Amino acid sequence: MAIKNQGIVQRKNDHLDIILNTPQDVTGASTGFGNWRFVHCALPEIDYDAIDLRSVFLNKTLSAPLLISSMTGGAQRSKFINHHLAEAAQELNVAMGVGSQRIALEGQSDCGIDKSLRRLAPDIPLMANLGAAQLAGEKGIDSARRVVDMIEADALIIHLNPLQEILQSDGDRDWAGKLDAIAQVVRHLTVPVVVKEVGAGISAAVAGRLIDAGVTAIDVAGAGGTSWAAVEGKRAESAHLRALASAFADWGIPTAQALQAIASAYPNTPVIASGGIRTGIDAAKALRLGACLVGQAAAILDSATESTQAVVDRFAITIEQLKLACFCTGSINLDALKTADIIQCGGGS
Ligand SMILES: Cc1cc2nc3c(=O)[nH]c(=O)nc-3n(C[C@H](O)[C@H](O)[C@H](O)COP(=O)(O)O)c2cc1C
């Protein structure tokens, strides 16, 4: 088990290095948000300083509808990253999902994902994280309970990453029965379950199966941001795996398309938009297209390695951009933004 864990830790370390050092090489297809433009309102008739970005998620009121998306987890430096992110989330009063807690479940290190995170961020929605692969079998429900308890989480995020698993030499290849395992966890857990992808998107059809299984919210984590096929391609040891991965570098459902499809098919299910969100304008478009919350991962990794203040500063820009997008569409709050004039100006969504 120890040797296996060292392998996982090394893999997570490689992921951090690749995304931090060569982000331009691992960004996949377009998010689709570029195909949408708000209609500028030259006469907003509202006070900029009165714009209200508050929203409610998991029964907690956030200052802005933003989520620090799950980032693992395996490397020692993750401890600092997680602490910076938790402190920043508390200061900004936005939601946070931790990275995969698999290492903490299976090994010695918790990578800073422990109750100290809850102490740093007592008031925000804090979400635990585990892959669907870790939920199969008899230990699945126990594992889910343990990761939630580990950080006193408000919800559990289950991530789906079938493409990435196949592109890892030791990845999980058997995805039969995963929906059943998710349904079991939903039935036995006392906190809500959110299901997300990791950058290839969730279709309306898959969302429907998850909603039928009792899942509370869907995070589309669509294509256009971090491409895990590209990341795995960069660290692949064999030419075979490299060729397989590179062909799938821009695979996936663009974030805007996945969001729109799920939000229109399931209007009563909270949908989180993530995957390639870079600015507050993207966030505004995502909210307009039906998201209740907007998540960012790779875009804040750099500042998360630096300091809490760097993360706060980074998010402050996104929040101000979102506010200005509200102003320039004459939207005094997020309800108004949801009906702001927007046009589709490119092909597809
Ligand atoms: C360094 C890094 C580590 C990640 N680790 C996890 C993880 O452990 N669990 C998870 O559900 N998603 C993980 N993700 C995926 C993100 O949560 C997100 O779904 C994906 O990166 C798309 O968002 P982005 O384009 O803003 O990066 C990770 C992303 C990054 C950049």
Q: What residue ranges do the domains of the chain occupy?
A: 36-344
State the pLDDT at residue 119.
97
Residue 46 alpha carbon to ligand 1 centre in Å: 37
**Binding-site residue ranges:** 11-12, 69-72, 100-102, 129, 164-165, 196, 226, 276-278, 297-298
Closest CA to 330 of 13, 35, 50, 125: 50
* Nearest-atom index, ligand 1, CA of 225: 25
Pocket of ligand 1 (CB under 6 A): 15-16, 19, 69-73, 99-100, 129, 159, 196, 198-199, 221, 225-226, 274-277, 296-299, 301
Compute, in angstroms, the gap from residue 217 CA to the centroid of ligand 1: 17
Query: What are the structure tokens assigned to 128, written together?
Result: 């635990």
- Taking CA atoms only, the protein residue closest to ligand 1 atom 18 is 198
pTM comes to 0.95
Model confidence at 9, pLDDT cuts 50, 70, 90, reads confident
CATH 3.20.20.70 correct for 36-344: yes
Q: What is the DSSP string of 137-201?
A: STTHHHHHHHHHHHHT-SEEEEE--HHHHHTSTT-----TTHHHHHHHHHHH-SS-EEEE-SSS-
- What's the pLDDT at 3? 44
Q: Are β-strands 271-273 and 217-219 bridged in parallel, bridged antiparallel, or unpaired?
A: parallel
In this predicted structure, the answer to whether residue 36 has a pLDDT above a threshold of 80 is yes
pLDDT band, residue 77 (cuts 50/70/90): confident
Q: How confident is the model at residue 15 (pLDDT cuts 50, 70, 90)?
A: confident
Closest atom of ligand 1 to 27 CA is: 25
User: Could you give the angle at the alpha carbon of 16 between the alpha carbons of 206 and 13, nearest 5°?
Assistant: 105
pLDDT in tens, 257-284: 999 999 999 999 999 999 999 999 999 9
Gap from CA of 220 to ligand 1 centroid (Å)? 12
Bridge-based pairing of strands 126-131 and 155-159 is parallel
Residue ranges at the known binding site for Mg(2+): 165
Of 343 and 115, more confident: 343
Residue 266 makes CB contacts below 8 A (sequence gap 6+) with 204, 207, 208, 211, 218
As a whole number of angstroms, the distance between CA 275 and CA 289 comes to 15
| Mean pLDDT over each residue of the chain, to the nearest integer | 93
At residue 349 the predicted structure's pLDDT band, cuts being 50, 70 and 90, is very low
Residues 202 and 258 sit within 8 Å (Cβ to Cβ): yes
Q: What is the pLDDT of residue 25?
A: 82
